[in-house]
Amino acid sequence: MKKVVFLGILSLLLSSCAAVSPYRVTNSFVDKEAVTQLRAQQIAVLPFQNSSSNHSAGLKVTDEFNLQLGKLGKFDLVERIKIDELYKEQDLDPNRIDKNTAVKIGKMLGAHGVILGSVLEYSKGKIGISIRLVNVETGKQIWQARDTLYASDRRVKVLVDGFQQKMRLKSDKEFLAQILCQLLVQTFVEE
């Protein structure tokens, strides 16, 4: 009897220590051929719409996504300053940009594609972002990814190293947003 109980406890411990697969964004699509045609072309990451309660979330996530997309090294990104200047000059509101307006903005910037994004959630332990890429010449949406990360998700925790980074997931919104932006950018490559 003791042996059976011991084996049961051992089995339970081993199953709880089993490797957890890292988090992957599964809510995405990409038109590989159309995205490939944009490689080495200019892409503009437009200021993200902010639907969260944090007033600075749109700007922070826009900058982070721009950084992560730049790290990918597949596109020539329009400088943020140039985009900001156009928005001021044209008196554009990031929360009121639809696909048609985005195409016009892309043409004014000399870009071949524009990234439109929305920050859906931006709070401690929870970040939600939706992003899409529109071809400026055709007006066609050729990539989209959307997800919400929870710091408490074991699959998210395995993406970081050490106790301090795991704790940082829960308290640092920008760190969690960085991880989600990295995951969203990976959907360009994986699909």
User: Domain tally for the chain?
Assistant: 1
Q: What is the CATH number of the domain that holds 42?
A: 3.40.50.10610
- Flag whether 7 is in a domain: no
> In which domain, by residue range, is 136 found?
23-190
What's the confidence (pLDDT) of residue 10? Answer: 47
Give the tokens for residue 170. 């829960």
In contact, 122 and 57? CB cutoff 8 Å: yes
What's the confidence (pLDDT) of residue 43? Answer: 96
- Flag whether 1 is in a domain: no
One digit per residue, pLDDT tens: the chain, 191 residues?
Answer: 555 544 455 454 444 455 778 888 888 899 988 888 888 899 999 999 999 999 999 999 999 999 999 998 889 999 999 999 999 999 998 888 999 999 999 999 999 999 999 999 999 999 999 999 999 999 999 999 999 999 999 999 988 988 888 889 889 999 999 999 999 999 877 64
What's the confidence (pLDDT) of residue 94? Answer: 85
- Flag whether 4 is in a domain: no
- Flag whether 158 is in a domain: yes
CA distances from 123 to 7, 33, 36, 68, 178 (A): 43, 36, 35, 20, 13
- Flag whether 3 is in a domain: no
The SS3 of residue 105 is helix
pTM value is 0.85
- Flag whether 47 is in a domain: yes
What's the confidence (pLDDT) of residue 91? Answer: 92
Give the tokens for residue 121. 């959630």
What's the confidence (pLDDT) of residue 191? Answer: 45
* Residue in the block written with tokens 């048609």: 100
Give the tokens for residue 42. 């200019």
Rounded distance between C-alpha atoms, residue 151 and residue 129, angstroms: 14
- Flag whether 108 is in a domain: yes
Residue (of 14, 82, 92) closest to 102 by Cα position:
92
- Flag whether 102 is in a domain: yes
Give the tokens for residue 92. 């554009």
